[in-house]
Chain A
Amino acid sequence: MSPFPEQAPSKLAAPGLGIGTSRWAYQVRALRFQYHPLNRGADNWVIDGLTCDVDAGEILGIVGPNGSGKTSLLKLLAKVLRPQVGDMALFGRDLGMMPQVEVARTVAFVPQESPQVFSFTVMETVLMGRYPHHRGAKWSAGFGWESAEDVLIAEEAMQSTDLTDLAGRSVMDLSGGERQRCMIARALAQAPQVLLLDEPTAFLDIQHQIEICTIVRRLKEERGLTVVLVSHDLNLASQYCDRILMLKAGKLFRLGSPHEVIDADVLRAVYGCDVLIDCHPESGVPRVTMPSYISTKHDRDRL
């Protein structure tokens, strides 16, 4: 029996094309995952019985303490890791049954850091995103040069990430923000419907953080992209995400709008510390502030 009865996949849909009609980008059911399944006896599930849906066209932020399984969940969604238990559907199709290359035509994954050891140009790097769309004769499958269409799509991806001027530069000479944009452009070149970002703003200064977040919002609005991003920054999640998924020790703690999730009680239960929460002066979404040294000292003295 299908775990997704309301979303029986159409048998007539052409592979890789008949996607996009589903209300949900992802449906995740009772997902369990651990890194060393052969380590018997050890009950170290990184993701432990997670059930959630990701709406098509939303920006979902995954937050939680260190080691709560955020990145693992993202990699499971990208099918870079395989779960031991549970089901996942991508636009109504069983993710476990989809060939990796078909997943890659729908889902683009940007890891937290990518090694930059060789002096590929920005253009070459972005063009690598066209790999899953390449269909060549068998004997030249590994070699085929990109078509004019590929170049066009790559140029478009670079345009939406403001990289056009840097096309000929070596990725090794880029700054942190430019590098992150380059990786996002590489992901966009995949022409995906879902974009998975792991800590897209880590190690970036405030200007580049805003820049990346603005690009992500714009992509959602212009292309109708579904974005799932992992972040440590609760304020960023609150400000830029439609919904937030709070993980605690591999389990879903709360999923909902920023108002529902960024809450003093929730944060105390998950992170084990008190924070101040007020409203963002412009948008009114919740804003998290660290308690001042004086107030924590005051608490300590009182105890």
Chain B
Amino acid sequence: MAPLVVMSVSLLLICLQFGTQWIGVSQIIDILWQVLREGTVESDRIGTTGVILTQVRLPRVLLGFLVGACLASIGVVLQALLRNPLADPYVLGVSSGAALGVALAILLGAGTTVVTFSVLPLCGFAGGLLSLAVVYRMAVSYGRLPIHALLLAGVILNAIFSAMIMFVTSIMEPNRSVGTMTWLMGTLTAPSYPALVVLACYLLGGLFLLLKQARRLNVLTLGEESARSLGIDTEHVKRLVYVLSALITGAVVSVSGMIGFVGMVIPHAVRFLLGADHRLLLPASACIGGMYLVIADTLARTLLAPTEIPVGIVTALAGGPFFIYLLVWRKDRFA
């Protein structure tokens, strides 16, 4: 784990350099050190470069890391619970369920008030939990979750929710609907520090609770009956992990929209590198997922600068072909 943390930090520093204005690593460290020492982010102390770094880039990169870490972790736990390596909050329609909840909340005026930050994740949670429940009910047959039924249920749910989201967006005021559309495509925007701290506490808390289930998740991959015969309260673990996943997805979607395929690509790569043990897989996926999204976001804001590409498009363009590869060439592995 230690090498991964070191890698994550250095990657964050590297990605902080890029942008409309190039800021070197040494300068970044200088500014960050000064900010830490003086405990201030006033512009007259740290200059314009400092403001760009601390007010714009740093929160955005941190948010990207957090979102990536959460998406990858949820991918890992959903795959373990559904015993299906193609599960991903995006593919299963959990993200779109959460997005629908958030879009409805915006439509009803939550986006303009102070309570935004507490209401939107809750609506996202409700939507995400609803779609998880629906997908599960649709796909389960005789206590099994066949892979094709699961994917099909996700596709259907995605289609329905997308239509509903488009409807909701279409009846919004034009200026708000543009913002909603951009958000839906998956965008990271620099949050304020208090908001970032609240979000970080919430998400890291959720990740920690998931991590506590790691050993049980290992056993659950043997099948539910085996797990129960090994003394695990499977219903309790399933309920807990599903609710946590929906909670985290709801919060992530409410701040960053629909960023797809991180939860599928990353667990696969990490499993290939480090093995399937969730006690290692889960934290490693979180780190690598965070790094992946930070890289994707750096590409998104520099490739066509000064125009930004929504980061969801970047991850989908990278993850979609990977999904096809898994489904077409590796299907013998999880038929």
Contact = CB atoms under 8 A, between A and B. Distances in A.
Contacts of B279: 143, 145
B211 A117 contact: no
A120 B223 contact: no
A35 B141 CA distance: 14
Interface string A74-116: 0100111000000000000000000111111101111100110
Contacts of A105: 231
Contact of B215 (A75, A119, A125, A143): A143
A142 B214 contact: yes
A59 B225 CA distance: 22
A110 B334 CA distance: 21
B56 to A, nearest CB: 37
Contacts of A190: 230
Bin the interface of chain A by size. Answer: 35 or more
Interface centre among B214, B216, B229 (most CB of A within 10 A): B229
A268 B230 CA distance: 39
Given A115-B222, A118-B221, A142 B215 contact: yes
A172 B333 contact: yes
B281 to A, nearest CB: 9
A196 B226 CA distance: 11
Interface in B202-229: 211-216, 218-219, 221-223, 225-226, 228-229
Contacts of B83: 115, 117
Interface stretch (B62-70, B270-278, B305-313): B270-278
A213 interface: no
A48 B277 CA distance: 42
Interface string A121-152: 10011001101101000011111110000000
Contacts of A78: 225, 229
Contacts of A128: 218-219, 222, 230
Contacts of B214: 142-143
A70 to B, nearest CB: 15
A102 B276 CA distance: 27
Given A115-B222, A125-B222, A172-B333, A104 B230 contact: yes
20 contacts: A78-B225, A78-B229, A101-B231, A103-B229, A105-B231, A111-B225, A115-B222, A117-B84, A121-B275, A124-B277, A128-B218, A129-B230, A142-B211, A142-B213, A142-B215, A143-B211, A143-B214, A172-B333, A190-B230, A196-B229
9 pairs of A and B residues whose beta carbons are closest in the complex: A101-B231, A104-B231, A109-B229, A118-B276, A132-B231, A142-B212, A120-B276, A78-B229, A100-B231
